[in-house]
């Protein structure tokens, strides 16, 4: 089982996270940010990742540090759990409908960081959640996971649906990318011989 525990402690957040890439989609999330809990719960479910997370953050300031740092910790967990990436598929993509929203994602676990987040979220908030933090989460994740991730909105007018579609679609893409490819057992999925 490819599992990693990350503990990230800063002056702004204290995070403990456990990720199993070969899970059943089970999760226990307590980030201190209700909407993010919802997104990470469905991310785990649709990725078939087991994920436990607790975070104590400076949410009395705002949710920015918590959301960004959780993205970083989750990216670190993916990178560590994958190790040298021998035998993985490496690439994954999904086009996912969420009611009127339609989201395309594609990921390359390349060892290079190139996030391209193209979402037109029509409101500044969903409940109390600042929607600009969606991009901050994925930027933190990509930097720490060292991956190329495109998230593109093809349709959508409801902010909740757009964001939820993005998290579900990214989970589906990552599920494909981390999957073990039986035809490439023990091989690094690159002509360079390293990722």
Q: What is the pLDDT of residues 60-73, one digit of tens each?
A: 999 999 999 999 99
Which among 125, 147, 144 is positioned nearest to 134, based on CA atoms? Answer: 125
Q: What is the pLDDT of residues 71-93, one digit of tens each?
A: 999 999 999 999 999 999 999 99
Residue 189 falls inside a structural domain: no
Residue 190 falls inside a structural domain: no
pLDDT for res 12: 97
Which among 151, 152, 161 is positioned nearest to 38, based on CA atoms? Answer: 161
Residue 193 falls inside a structural domain: no
Q: What is the pLDDT of residues 114-137, one digit of tens each?
A: 999 999 999 999 999 999 999 999
Question: Are 151 and 143 spatial neighbours (Cβ–Cβ below 8 Å)?
Answer: no
Residue 78 falls inside a structural domain: yes
Count of domains in the chain? 1
Residue 43 has pLDDT above 90, yes or no: yes
Q: What is the pLDDT of residues 154-188, one digit of tens each?
A: 999 999 999 999 999 999 999 999 999 999 888 99
| Angle separating helix axes 34-47 and 64-82, nearest 10 degrees | 20
Give the CATH number of the domain where residue 142 resides. 3.30.230.40
pLDDT band at residue 1 using 50, 70 and 90 as cut-offs: confident
Cα 145 versus chain centre, distance: 9
Measured at the CA of 107, the angle between CA 57 and CA 25, to 5 degrees, comes to 60
Residue 166 falls inside a structural domain: yes
Could you tell me what percent of the chain has a pLDDT over 90?
96
Residue 55 falls inside a structural domain: yes
Residue 191 falls inside a structural domain: no
Residue 136 falls inside a structural domain: yes
Q: Which residue range is the domain that position 10 belongs to?
A: 3-184
pLDDT band at residue 22 using 50, 70 and 90 as cut-offs: very high
């Amino acid at each position: 089982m490819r599992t990693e525990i990350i503990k990230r402690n800063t002056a702004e957040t204290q995070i403990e996270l456990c990720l199993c890439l070969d899970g059943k989609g089970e999760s226990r999330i307590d980030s201190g940010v209700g909407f993010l809990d919802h997104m990470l719960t469905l991310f785990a479910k649709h990725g078939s990742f087991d994920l436990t997370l607790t975070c104590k953050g400076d949410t009395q300031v705002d949710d920015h540090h918590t959301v960004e740092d959780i993205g970083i910790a989750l990216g670190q967990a993916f990178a560590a759990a994958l190790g040298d990436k021998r035998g993985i598929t490496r690439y994954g993509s999904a086009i996912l409908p969420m009611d009127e929203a339609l989201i395309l994602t594609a990921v390359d676990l390349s060892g290079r960081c190139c996030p391209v987040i193209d979402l037109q979220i029509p409101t500044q908030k969903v409940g109390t959640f600042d929607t600009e933090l969606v991009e901050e989460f994925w930027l933190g994740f990509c930097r720490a996971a060292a991956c190329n991730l495109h998230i593109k909105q093809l349709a959508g007018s409801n902010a909740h649906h757009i964001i939820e579609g993005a998290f579900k679609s990214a989970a589906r893409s990552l599920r494909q990318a981390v999957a073990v490819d039986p035809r490439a057992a023990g091989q690094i999925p690159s002509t360079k011989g390293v990722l």
